[in-house]
Amino acid sequence: MANNNQSVHGIWRNRWIFILAATGSAVGLGNIWKFPYITGEHGGGAFVLMYLACIALVGVPIMVAEVAMGRRGRQSPINTMSSLISEAKAGPAWKAIGWMGALAGFLILSFYSVIAGWALSYVLKMATGTFVGADQDLAGGQFGDMLADPSGLMLWHTVFMVLTAGVIMRGVNKGIESAIQILMPLLFVLLIVLIGYAAKNGDFSKAVHFMFDADFSKLTAESVLVALGHAFFTLSLGMGAIMAYGAYMPRQASIGTTVFAIAGLDTLVALLAGLAIFPIVFANGLEPSAGPGLLFVSLPIAFGNMAGGQFFGALFFILVSFAAWSSAISLIEPATAWAIERFKTTRTKATIAIASIIWVLGIGTVLSFNDWSEFHLLPGKTIFDSLDFITANIMLPLGGLLIALFVGFGMKYHHVYNEMQVKNAVFFNIWYVLLRFVTPIAIGIVFISGLLPECSLMDESLLNAETGECSNPTYMQPRVIGGVILAIAYIAIVVKSLKKPARGLSS
Ligand code: TRP
């Protein structure tokens, strides 16, 4: 286990392939579809700033930790956790990281596949000229019609799951290398072309002000939670996807610079997507807060009115579908790798079983846009909204919190130090301090303010029914209690790690 240089599932040929694959995982619907619409829903600039802060202070340190864990364990996340736990002589509770991650992957892919299906169906709509000369009525109508038709949504959801399973059956490191090397740069170029169009024909300056003028009065505690959740979602963190890919990473490669490259590219693509979409949104009187349809209503208007738009539009949605596909692969790989190890079965059988379960779960999301749109899992949230909220805003940050605590306090210092192949002790130390003290405390604070009510539940009369604000927060308020509990747990973990024998000499 710990000193293996190989994984049974194969190894990336070199560091560059790892960067490509991890970027393929990170860049997906999260950047092109989700980032613009949640930025619109949460008021723009201040939200973008929080998102960037979460990427830098929470996302990057955790990504480094996940890659290091994966490379040390060299197995599926679930079994990697078991071997790291026994190496560190830590408690079995840490196994939750692996299990919760596999579950999160199932749930995310179940709705991710349905949205990717939208992109696939838009390839056809674009190519056949549905949007030629489109205005917002036509674009909005098309989108609405698509959502109202469960059988169409099911068809595309099925196509997407079959495509994903097809790659996974062959093993991640065989299926996608060459495709990623061509299609990722092409997506990048097409985004730049779209921005060029948007700058000429859209309201570019309004878009730039919207995205980058930070008005903190628009920021709520929930917005900060969504920004944190999205930092995890967009970097594929907190569920073991990056850990699974790290397991196939060559031993000598430096983790720090690799992670900077991936996080940088991912953030760039999200910002570019925003700069392509918002000018068109503002120039056509669309609502930035329109929700999940934002991309699918705004860009068809642009493509419908540009020279060669039929071709470029189809190409764009092919590339978006591809980006979603290379992300979906990383959502299903942790569970598949585990099933192969656990049941000693073939990749093909494991893939079919797992993809089928996810396909069935996806039916819930399909129906949440039409027949079951009135059914709420969480208060006020459809099945799709609830799955998105529970996974991105709770399970992923929680997984990340546990990963930070495990690498920061559970694992032995010299094991971490060795795995990192430290060349520059300053960078290592900055990372280690961030991971142990900044990342967990930041996640804790965002959780408490975003998930717990401000007002004492004992006295509802304190709550202003209209604004939802607390007229007189008391010492009983849930956030104080939650904060105290988390602080005690955190201090206990820190103290326990101090009691372990002093830092060892070698691994
Ligand atoms: N990061 C991908 C996107 O932005 C989605 C994704 C792939 C993901 N793998 C993940 C999200 C693992 C969370 C965890 O579209």
Q: Is 334 helix (H, G, I), strand (E, B) or coil?
A: helix
Same domain, 88 and 155: yes
Same domain, 302 and 334: yes
Residue 142 has pLDDT above 90, yes or no: yes
Using the 3D structure, point to which of 415, 432, 451 is the last residue of a domain.
451
The model's pLDDT over 200-221, given as tens digits with 9 standing for 90+, comes to 999 999 999 999 999 999 899 9
Contact call for residues 43 and 215 (beta carbons, < 8 A): yes
**pLDDT number for residue 174:** 65
Same domain, 228 and 338: yes
Q: Tell me the C-alpha distance between 371 and 350, whole Å.
A: 32
**CA of residue 262 to ligand 1 center, whole Å:** 13
**CA of residue 391 to ligand 1 center, whole Å:** 11
* Cβ < 6 A, ligand 1 pocket: 25-26, 28-31, 108, 233-234, 236, 239, 241, 327, 330-331, 396
Using the 3D structure, point to which of 405, 432, 451 is the last residue of a domain.
451
Same domain, 357 and 487: no
**CA of residue 455 to ligand 1 center, whole Å:** 34
**CA of residue 393 to ligand 1 center, whole Å:** 13
Same domain, 407 and 499: no
**pLDDT number for residue 459:** 67
Over residues 222-230, the mean pLDDT reads 97
**CA of residue 239 to ligand 1 center, whole Å:** 9
Residue whose CA lies nearest to ligand 1 atom number 12: 236
Q: Tell me the C-alpha distance between 176 and 166, whole Å.
A: 11
Same domain, 475 and 427: no
Nearest to 192 by CA among 122, 275, 312: 275
Q: Is 476 helix (H, G, I), strand (E, B) or coil?
A: coil
Same domain, 178 and 235: yes
The model's pLDDT over 388-443, given as tens digits with 9 standing for 90+, comes to 999 999 999 999 999 999 999 999 999 999 999 888 899 999 999 999 999 999 99
Domain membership of residue 8 (yes or no) is no
Domain membership of residue 9 (yes or no) is no
Domain membership of residue 5 (yes or no) is no
Residue span of the structural domain in which 80 resides: 15-451
Domain membership of residue 177 (yes or no) is yes
Domain membership of residue 142 (yes or no) is yes
Same domain, 299 and 321: yes
Same domain, 330 and 473: no
Q: Return the ligand 1 atom nearest residue 327 CA.
A: 7
Site to substitute for ligand 1 among 34, 108, 403, most atoms within 8 A of C-beta = 108
Domain membership of residue 204 (yes or no) is yes
Over residues 305-316, the mean pLDDT reads 93
114, 221, 446 from 457: Cα distances, Å: 38, 18, 20
504 confidence band (pLDDT: 50, 70, 90) = very low
Side chain identity at residue 154, one-letter code: M
Same domain, 77 and 94: yes
Residue whose CA lies nearest to ligand 1 atom number 14: 236
474 confidence band (pLDDT: 50, 70, 90) = low
Q: Tell me the C-alpha distance between 316 and 330, whole Å.
A: 22
The residue behind tokens 């997906």 is: 28
Using the 3D structure, point to which of 451, 467, 482 is the last residue of a domain.
451
Domains in the chain: how many in total?
A: 2
**pLDDT number for residue 248:** 82
Same domain, 204 and 263: yes
Across all residues in the chain, what is the average pLDDT? Answer: 91
- Exposure string over 328-365, b if 16+ CB within 10 A, otherwise e: bbbbbbbbbbbbbbeeeeebeebbeebbeebbebbbbb
**CA of residue 259 to ligand 1 center, whole Å:** 15
CATH number of the domain enclosing 229: 1.10.4160
Residue whose CA lies nearest to ligand 1 atom number 10: 236
Domain membership of residue 219 (yes or no) is yes
Residue 349 has pLDDT above 90, yes or no: yes
Domain membership of residue 221 (yes or no) is yes
Site to substitute for ligand 1 among 330, 336, 358, 398, most atoms within 8 A of C-beta = 330
Q: Tell me the C-alpha distance between 231 and 55, whole Å.
A: 5
Please list the residues that pair with 164 across neighbouring strands.
none
**CA of residue 29 to ligand 1 center, whole Å:** 8
- Residue 442 burial (CB count, 10 A): 20
Backbone angles phi, psi at 378, to 5 degrees: -95, 155
Same domain, 233 and 151: yes
Residue 40 has pLDDT above 80, yes or no: yes
Residue 224 corresponds to which tokens in the numbers above? 């900060």
**Among 13-22, 179-188, 253-262, 490-499, where is mean pLDDT lowest?**
13-22
Residue 136 corresponds to which tokens in the numbers above? 């917002």
Q: Tell me the C-alpha distance between 319 and 317, whole Å.
A: 5
**pLDDT number for residue 5:** 57
